[in-house]
């Protein structure tokens, strides 16, 4: 868990630095930061999909995942509950920033493979690298949305902690095939978040989060036959 603690610490440090910058930044600079962050999210999402799609053993699974996950998320109204909860404690567009932060921090190769490598091989390289990247991202996010972005650090701790524990319990059961499919779906969600930040298309990204649960279920069932 050393790598996860480092990752969380870098996010908190980045949020602190970004919040200090926020006080002296004019609205025009906030806008350009939003645009830069939106472009970065789009590129990260597209890169994840392009890298993993050629390795996919189930080329249409991401479509099924998004469709089924979207229906479940819409029925549960995850986005609505999240927005109302954040607005209860904070004004402005923090909810949008937090949703983007959670996706950027948690849905990526480093944040998924990092805890697995740490659990199985005691190799913290991925998590240390991810921590540095998240720290820089946190500066931009906090400078745009405020210190409330630090809430995402708790989500990262739970996310990476669970993967770490699952990797210890399951060991060989976590296949490359499964990680590929999850990363493809995650990349699409990050791209959707970027489109929202750029105000190209506002997508209820959080309602699509259950899509991440579909690949493990489908692949698990298929392996039984």
Cα gap 56→185, rounded to integer Å: 11
**Which residues of the chain carry a pLDDT beneath 50?**
none
Yes or no: say if 120 and 171 are a contact pair by the CB < 8 Å rule: yes
Q: What is the DSSP letter of 100?
A: H
Q: Shortest CA distance to 69 belongs to which of 181, 223, 222, 198?
A: 181
User: Would you say 109 and 48 are in contact if contact means Cβ atoms under 8 Å apart?
Assistant: yes
The pLDDT score that the predictor gives to residue 43 is 85
Rounded CA separation 81/76 (Å) = 9
Q: Which pLDDT value is given to residue 92?
A: 59
Structural domain boundaries of the chain? Answer: 2-222
Report the distance separating Cα 178 and Cα 174, nearest Å. 7
pTM of the prediction?
0.72
pLDDT of res. 67:
95
Q: What are the phi and psi torsion angles at 123 (to 5°)? A: -105, 115
Q: At what angle do helices 94-106 and 27-52 cross, to 10 degrees?
A: 30
Provide the greatest CA pair distance for the chain: 60
- Give the whole-angstrom CA distance, residue 66 versus residue 82: 19
Structure tokens at 109: 């190769």
Residue 97, both tokens: 């920033």
d(CA 37, CA 183): 20
187-211, pLDDT tens digit by residue? 888 888 788 878 888 888 888 888 9
Which phi and psi angles does 26 have, rounded to 5°? -75, 160
- Quote the DSSP letter at residue 224: T
Q: Which among 213, 218, 219 has a CA at the least distance from the CA of 76?
A: 213
Backbone angles phi, psi at 120, to 5 degrees: -90, -30
Hunting for tokens 């509950």 — which residue is that?
81
């Amino acid at each position: 868990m050393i790598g996860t603690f480092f990752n969380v610490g870098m996010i908190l440090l980045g949020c602190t630095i970004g919040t200090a910058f926020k006080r002296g930044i004019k609205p025009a600079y906030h806008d350009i930061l939003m645009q830069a962050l939106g472009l970065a999210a789009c590129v990260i999402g597209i890169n994840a999909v392009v890298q993993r799609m050629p390795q996919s053993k189930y080329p249409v699974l991401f479509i099924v995942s998004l469709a089924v996950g979207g229906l479940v998320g819409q029925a549960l109204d995850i986005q609505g509950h999240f927005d109302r909860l954040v607005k209860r404690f904070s004004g402005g567009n923090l909810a949008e920033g937090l949703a983007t932060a959670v996706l950027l921090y948690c849905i990526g190769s480093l944040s998924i493979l990092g805890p697995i490598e740490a659990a199985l091989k005691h190799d913290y390289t991925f998590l240390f690298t991810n921590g540095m990247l998240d720290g820089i991202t946190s500066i931009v996010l906090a400078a745009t949305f405020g210190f409330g972005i630090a809430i995402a650090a708790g989500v990262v701790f739970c996310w990476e902690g669970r993967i770490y524990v699952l990797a210890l319990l399951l060991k060989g059961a976590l296949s490359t095939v499964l990680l590929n499919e999850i990363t493809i779906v995650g990349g699409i969600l990050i791209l959707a978040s970027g489109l929202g930040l750029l105000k190209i298309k506002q997508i209820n990204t959080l309602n699509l989060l259950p899509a991440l649960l579909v690949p493990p279920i489908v692949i698990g069932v298929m392996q039984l036959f």
